[in-house]
Structure 1
């Protein structure tokens, strides 16, 4: 009997350069992606600037003769106004390149600002694919300082609009020309954020290789991400200065970013995005909690994808995953508790957000059909943590 191969397509991956200390060659990287660029906009997390973590990058660029502009009005989840402000900063400077330094918020803001700056339109012009992204954006370089979102390798960029709702801009045009993975940049990440961001990366990899869009071209990358994260996260949380564990987490996060860029996410992300529509919450924590609530249900009708993911984590079967994952959360010190702001909402409010149009792609991609009753049940379990 002839078996027809499963068709699939994979998206382009930017250049990736990995090594400890690699960020100290930033000026060379800028010239590689934007030859002759004499003005560079650095988009960075405000906290990194306050801690002095961005200063070596600025010095490196200035010593090469570049004029450096800085946009660092970034805290919490990214917002459309921040993207617009960063794009305007690039235009005022006459930047020939954009460097994005930080966690997922800074990376998403920098990527989109670089893509839209030359065209002069604001972020809302492109939100939810209302208009195609312009060609000819500024060359960008991403340097993640957390091992979580994988934004440096994803064409999906999440932000809040003027009304506070989660929106997205998707397009290969937003990808950077080059990604610098330097585990030294993640050493200062405190244990709680290491846990939250690391679990976010784990969920990315797991959902990308088990949802309805999973394919045999993408799943091996996700499985490698799961193996790296499963082997390194607890060490990175307990021994923050362990450079080997930090390196494995950074690679795992990057590979997970490739995974969701190709196959997207599923119900745990439907829940986490819905939570963010109600009140501020760290995305990694929201996603980690969303997976714990849904994992046993998702894996109950496994077609083999969850079993393969379990083996990547060093487990025997799909049935082992939920208990092992809950144990990992506990060992990493994750409290099953929503921020106090969520006490103002009930399960019905969260369920309504889970049903919102912008969250339906994640619901529909889930391994199992997410029924109306499932939404109500998951919402109730989540809001019981408030």
Structure 2
């Protein structure tokens, strides 16, 4: 039994329609009546941002909107959001959306505490100033688990995907409301749901895995594996959406403690090279590396397979159970309708060496090193060839 230190600072609330109580939450969390809402243009367009702003304003909360958030956010966007937070002097920042909007909200709330630009903190080159605002996250996807983590991912001015982390990046409150995920299209439900599943898988199997990570991670795997295809095929299924929402949150808890692995190393490299959607990138990466991961790590992958519901006979040999999990995962990816080819992003076999070199770059080393099985340079080259072949 390995030693561990497991902690979380984020309060979590769940309920159908729970987001309508956001005004009360702002007052309880921050003690004030002003907030900055950070979201993306898509949620403004479909009216979800208006619903949240209406719930705030109708109960006396003054709200400032920042919606210039794109998928895979840039440091420039975070700098703009930070300027809005400073100008408003609001005691509360709300992140509404997927991982990109929540990451912008989390990081901007800390960057706003000083005059340095976001790139000043990339890969923790410099420490943040103390946190001055409270943060509330309202996910509208079930994927990143950003509502539970103290890590953010963004592209710096050189367009490389980098990291920022600090315990105070952890939100003060996470509000899970499955009604806000119903409008998510099937292909994004699949991509974000598979992202959450990969989070749980890599945290449970990774080198930092322990009993506490397994407790939340294996439960996340159970909930996501049993509900993802239901939500893809019937987007209005609130029971399935709720299972995904809670499963994604638990997977966020798992990676907060256990980190990620080779699928995220590859996924971030794909994001740097061609801005491939993060959830799809990591899902495709694990599709090609799951079987390789099992060697030398059969017992934990057998546990994962059992949590997935992939094992028909518990008396089967451990290796057979572990490989049943790989087959289940690949089938789930295929049945979700995910496009496995990356040709539409402009990537071809000619880019394989560049992809392998990006996987091996310094910013991706923590994920490579934390994976349950270490990937040597020749392994990275082989994976790149498989993904782009």
Question: What TM-score do you get using the length of structure 2 for normalisation?
Answer: 0.95
Alignment of 1:105-116 (within 5 A): 105-116=100-111
Alignment of 1:45-124 (within 5 A): 45-124=40-119
Offset of residue 341 of structure 1: 1.9
Instruction: Look up the match of 1:298.
Output: 293
Instruction: Look up the match of 1:137.
Output: 132
Instruction: Look up the match of 1:348.
Output: 353
CA distance in 1, matches of 2:115, 2:71: 25
CA distance in 1, matches of 2:256, 2:75: 21
Offset of residue 283 of structure 1: 0.5
1:304-357 per-position Cα deviation (integer Å, ceiling 9, x unaligned): 211111111112311101111111112111121113322495210101101101
Question: What TM-score do you get using the length of structure 1 for normalisation?
Answer: 0.96
**CA contact 1:133–1:173 (8 Å) conserved in 2:** no
**CA contact 2:204–2:254 (8 Å) conserved in 1:** yes
**CA contact 1:117–1:138 (8 Å) conserved in 2:** no
- Unaligned 5+ segments in structure 2 are 312-320
1:229-287 per-position Cα deviation (integer Å, ceiling 9, x unaligned): 00000000000000000000010100000000001000111110111111121001100
Instruction: Look up the match of 1:38.
Output: 33
Instruction: Look up the match of 1:18.
Output: 14
Alignment of 1:217-228 (within 5 A): 217-228=212-223
1:107-133 per-position Cα deviation (integer Å, ceiling 9, x unaligned): 000011112212232211211111112
SS of the equivalent of 2:212 reads: coil
Residues 172 and 315 of structure 1: is their aligned pair in 2 closer, same or farther, counting only changes over 3 Å?
Answer: same
CA distance in 2, matches of 1:341, 1:13: 41
**CA contact 2:341–2:388 (8 Å) conserved in 1:** no
CA distance in 2, matches of 1:123, 1:51: 30
SS of the equivalent of 2:163 reads: strand
Instruction: Look up the match of 1:335.
Output: 339
Instruction: Look up the match of 2:191.
Output: 196
| Equivalent residue in structure 2 for 1:187, among 182, 195, 212 | 182
**CA contact 2:39–2:95 (8 Å) conserved in 1:** yes
**CA contact 1:137–1:173 (8 Å) conserved in 2:** no
Instruction: Look up the match of 1:370.
Output: 375
Q: State whether structure 2 residue 23 is matched by structure 1 residue 27.
A: yes
CA distance in 1, matches of 2:180, 2:242: 10
Moved more, 192-201 or 306-315: 306-315
CA distance in 2, matches of 1:218, 1:53: 33
Coordinate RMSD, CA, aligned: 1.2
Instruction: Look up the match of 1:235.
Output: 230
Counting matched residue pairs gives 379
CA distance in 2, matches of 1:177, 1:217: 21
Residues 233 and 93 of structure 1: is their aligned pair in 2 closer, same or farther, counting only changes over 3 Å?
Answer: same
CA distance in 2, matches of 1:355, 1:331: 31
Runs of 4+ in 1 over 3 A off after TM superposition: none
CA distance in 2, matches of 1:340, 1:153: 30
